[in-house]
């Protein structure tokens, strides 16, 4: 009877493993090489036409870019260090020269295009802080596998073009009111996939999302009023969280 029970248990575990494998296969896609998320392109949304390319040209000629010690890569949330979070950045990291190439609205393909078109040529930062992907989620609801592949291309490009730079890869910040939000779920699925990039050489993965949530997983509106972008208090929390890690990498 005991041997029979062992045999039954063994087959039950075997069936369970096969079911899990099938489930993983069902939820894993092969992202085509010509997917938008992987195809370098400028941002051509109507609301960005007037300023996006001029910002790119300005960044190519920004005074002091060659001497920057910190490189910031991302979308509007990173772009915001120049406006909403500017005073916070100055207080925490003002002694370090910073080159911010965060662009509002950017998706992974836009960052890849900018890399191909000179934005990280001729620079030698000690650290690159990277967060990108929430617009892939918000604009097109790209599959998490595809967005993760786009992020990996960005990380690999940085490693290739900036061989002496350490990459601090941040999990995409939470969005939406609570844990049931469809776009929040997509971002979390991307974060699960990109965490392993922290095993690459000169890459550290850091998830700060708990900083902006209450115990129920709801976004603290006093730090992210629109449930997506930090306000000044949100940037303060962000800076405080990364300060010890960033200073350690810089030194």
Residues 75/134, Cβ–Cβ less than 8 Å: yes
For the chain, give the percent of residues with pLDDT over 90. Answer: 88
- Report the alpha-carbon distance of residue 40 to residue 34 in Å, rounded: 10
Q: Is CATH 3.40.50.1110 what the domain over 65-250 is classified as, yes or no? A: yes
C-alpha 58/C-alpha 52 separation (Å) is 10
Q: How close are the terminal C-alpha atoms of the chain, in Å?
A: 65
Domain boundaries of the chain, sorted by first residue: 65-250
Q: Tokens 């920004």, residue? A: 62
Helix (H) or strand (E) holding 234: helix 232-250
Q: What is the dihedral of CA 191, 149, 162, 103, to 10 degrees?
A: -70
The whole model's pTM is what? Answer: 0.88
Assign 29 a pLDDT band (cuts: 50, 70, 90). low
pLDDT tens string 120-157: 999 999 999 999 999 999 999 999 999 999 999 999 99
Q: 147-182: per-residue pLDDT in tens?
A: 999 999 999 999 999 999 999 999 999 999 999 999
Distance CA 250, CA 248 (A): 6
Beta strands in 87-244 (DSSP E): 98-102, 127-131, 166-170, 203-206
């Amino acid at each position: 009877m005991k041997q029979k029970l062992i045999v039954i248990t063994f087959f039950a575990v075997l069936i369970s493993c096969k079911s899990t494998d099938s489930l993983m296969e069902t939820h894993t896609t092969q992202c085509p090489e010509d997917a938008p998320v992987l195809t370098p392109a400028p941002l051509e949304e109507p609301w960005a036409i007037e300023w996006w390319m001029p910002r790119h040209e300005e960044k190519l000629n920004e005074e002091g870019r060659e001497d920057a010690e910190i490189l910031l890569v991302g979308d509007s949330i990173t772009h915001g260090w120049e406006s909403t979070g500017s005073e916070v950045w100055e207080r925490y990291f003002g002694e370090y020269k910073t080159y911010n190439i965060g662009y509002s609205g950017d998706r992974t393909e836009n960052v890849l295009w900018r890399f191909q078109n000179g934005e990280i040529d001729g620079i030698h930062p000690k650290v690159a802080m990277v967060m990108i992907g929430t617009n892939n989620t918000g604009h097109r609801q790209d599959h998490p596998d595809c967005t993760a592949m786009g992020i990996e291309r960005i990380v690999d490009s940085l490693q290739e073009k900036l061989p002496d730079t350490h990459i601090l890869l941040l999990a995409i910040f939470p969005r939406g009111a609570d844990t049931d939000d469809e776009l929040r779920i997509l971002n979390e699925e991307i974060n699960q996939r990109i965490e392993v990039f922290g095993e690459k050489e000169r890459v550290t993965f850091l998830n700060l999302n708990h900083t902006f949530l209450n115990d129920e997983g709801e976004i603290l509106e006093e730090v992210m009023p629109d449930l997506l972008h930090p306000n000044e208090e949100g940037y303060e929390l962000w800076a405080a969280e990364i300060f010890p890690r960033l200073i350690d990498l810089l030194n």
